[in-house]
């Protein structure tokens, strides 16, 4: 397996984005986020998404020059039009505004309509936590999962993120609504493995742990069966209603690639506005201790809090380099070096 240093990967991605027409400062930020995602082990939304992002720019589905513009302002809440600008830049802007509002008021909510794929949603949770804020955010997507009881896709696999700042390692949950991502299905199939638990239905409607059969049927399983399905519907509707933007059904009509014209919500809360650092640390530490001192289940070596494994992967990949698929890495280098 080839491993690439963070700085080399970022510089290469930045160059690819500049070659695609992005201004240098914007390309720098986007390259940073893509590289951080790969660094943290979210390979599917890091280096591996560079080519598709460049393709979307070429198709005119992303406007690399667009900036978010304020649509409405209600004290602790602001609504912005993302103007189809790069999803990463819009999302960073929105979470930063939510943090600024929360810095004054304790609580800030910023919504975005008409934005594009934000890549790894967890990035904006980590962003809030790095600044000492609780962050909650979600996005809707095009339909890519059957609602519970259906065999055709009708709902989005809308990621939901919650983050809590903590000096010893932020607590960050970054979960999509499906039990497994299509990326996980692909990787598992290529390794000739089965999924740890059923991840969808085969063509005949039977639950299966065979990743290839789920890729064929496109009947990926919502986490918790009906629960993840219902949660996806709520996240979709609330993101559209809070931003005045499109629902999954609306996104499907525009059909500008994955997450084109999507709606997003960013909430920031300043926990130090109403708690001492001592109280916060105690609450978090006693919770982590309670989790970690649980009696281990059969076959479990260690219990992790949400975000802990990302941090471990980050440290390892910063030390050893970030693992890449050779073909994908070669392709991104091509994009960076084309004339």
For its own copies, the binding residues in 140-199 under the rule CB under 8 A are: 143, 146-155, 162, 164, 171, 173, 175, 179, 197
Is position 271 an interface residue for its own copies (rule: CB under 8 A)? yes
Q: Which of 37, 158, 248, 317 binds its own copies (CB under 8 A)?
A: 248
Apex 210 CA angle, 204 and 213, nearest 5 = 45
Nearer to its own copies, 87 or 132 (CB): 132
Which residue of the set 45, 117, 166, 170 is catalytic? Answer: 45
Distance between CA atoms of residues 266 and 139, nearest Å: 9
Active site residue 65: no
Report in angstroms how near the CB of residue 65 gets to its own copies at its nearest: 27
Edge-to-edge, what's the strand order for the sheet holding 262-269? 69-74, 77-81, 107-115, 262-269, 134-139, 160-164, 171-175
Map the footprint of its own copies across residues 285-304, applying CB under 8 A: 286-287, 289-291, 293-300, 302-304
Closest CB 330 distance from its own copies, rounded Å: 34
Give the nearer residue to its own copies in terms of CB position, either 221 or 336. Answer: 221
Compare residues 193 and 294 and give the one whose CB is closer to its own copies. Answer: 294
Secondary structure class of 203 (helix, strand, coil): coil
Residue 58 touches its own copies, criterion: CB under 8 A: no
Phi, psi angle pair for 295, to nearest 5° = -70, 125
Q: Which two tokens stand for residue 130?
A: 């790095």
Nearer Cβ to its own copies (106/323):
106
Q: How far apart are CA 103 and CA 263, in angstroms?
A: 24
How many residues of this chain interact with its own copies, rule: CB under 8 A? 84
Q: To the nearest whole angstrom, how small is the minimum distance from the Cβ of residue 3 to its own copies?
A: 27
According to DSSP, the β-strands at 322-324 and 153-155 are: unpaired
Q: Is 81 in the site for its own copies (CB under 8 A)?
A: no
Binding to its own copies (CB under 8 A) within 83-112 occurs at: 105-107, 109
Closest approach of its own copies to the CB of residue 164, in Å? 5
CB nearer to its own copies: pick between 86 and 306: 306
Stretch that binds its own copies, among 42-50, 87-95, 183-191, 239-247 (CB under 8 A): 239-247
6 binds its own copies (CB under 8 A): no
For 251, phi then psi, to 5°, come to: -60, -40
Q: Rule CB under 8 A: choose which of 13, 47, 50, 79 binds its own copies.
A: 79
Binding-site string for its own copies from residue 197 to residue 236, where x marks contact by CB under 8 A and - marks none: x---x--xx-x-----------x---xxx-xx-xx-xxxx
Q: Which of residues 318-337 bind its own copies (CB under 8 A)?
A: none
Decide if 229 contacts 154 (C-beta within 8 A).
no
Of 10-39, which residues contact its own copies (CB under 8 A)? none
Token code pair at residue 313: 């992967």
Phi-psi region at 169: left, alpha or beta (left = phi > 0; alpha = psi -120 to 50):
left
- Applying CB under 8 A, among 29, 187, 283, 328 the residue interacting with its own copies is 283
Which one of 20, 134, 262, 322 is in contact with its own copies (CB under 8 A)? 134
The minimum distance between CB 189 and its own copies, in angstroms, equals 20
Give long-range contacts, CB 8 A cutoff, 24+ apart: 4-12: 4/321, 4/322, 4/324, 4/329, 5/321, 5/322, 6/35, 6/39, 6/317, 6/318, 6/321, 6/322, 9/35, 9/38, 9/47, 9/322, 9/324, 10/34, 10/35, 12/332, 12/333, 12/336
Widest CA span in the chain: 59
Supply the minimum distance, in Å, between the C-beta of residue 58 and its own copies.
30
Helices 6-19 & 50-59 angle (0-180, nearest 10)? 10
Whole-Å CA distances, 263 to 24, 39, 91, 93, 206 = 26, 27, 11, 14, 33
Q: Which residues are catalytic?
A: 45
């Amino acid at each position: 397996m080839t491993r690439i240093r963070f700085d080399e990967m970022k510089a290469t991605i930045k160059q690819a984005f500049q070659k695609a027409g992005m201004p240098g400062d914007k390309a720098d930020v986007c390259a940073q986020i893509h590289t951080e995602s790969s660094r943290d082990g979210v390979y599917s939304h890091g280096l591996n998404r560079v080519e598709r992002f460049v393709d979307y720019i070429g198709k005119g589905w992303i406007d690399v020059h667009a900036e978010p513009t304020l649509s409405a302002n209600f004290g602790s809440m602001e609504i912005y039009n993302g103007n189809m600008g790069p999803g990463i830049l819009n999302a960073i802007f929105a979470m930063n505004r939510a943090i600024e509002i929360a810095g004054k008021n304790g609580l800030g909510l910023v919504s975005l309509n008409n934005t594009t794929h934000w890549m790894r949603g967890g990035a904006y949770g980590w962003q809030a936590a790095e600044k000492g804020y609780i962050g909650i955010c979600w996005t809707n997507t095009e339909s890519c999962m059957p609602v519970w009881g259906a065999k055709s896709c009708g709902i989005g696999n809308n990621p939901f993120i919650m983050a809590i700042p903590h000096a010893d390692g932020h607590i960050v949950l970054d979960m999509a609504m499906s039990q497994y991502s299509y990326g996980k299905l692909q990787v598992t199939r290529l390794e000739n493995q089965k999924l740890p638990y059923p991840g969808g239905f085969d063509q005949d409607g039977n639950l299966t742990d065979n990743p290839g059969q789920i890729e064929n049927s496109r009947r990926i399983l919502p986490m918790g069966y009906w629960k993840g399905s219902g949660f996806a519907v709520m996240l979709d509707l609330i993101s559209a209603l809070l931003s005045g933007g499109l629902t999954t059904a609306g996104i499907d009509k525009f059909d500008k690639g994955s997450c084109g014209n999507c709606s997003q919500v960013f909430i920031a809360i300043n926990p130090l506005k109403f708690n001492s650092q001592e109280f916060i640390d105690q609450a978090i530490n006693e919770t982590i201790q309670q989790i970690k001192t649980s009696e281990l289940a059969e076959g479990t070596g260690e219990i992790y809090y949400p975000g802990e494994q990302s941090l471990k992967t980050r440290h390892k990949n910063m030390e050893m380099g970030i693992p890449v698929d050779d073909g994908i890495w070669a392709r991104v280098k091509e994009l960076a070096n084309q004339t």
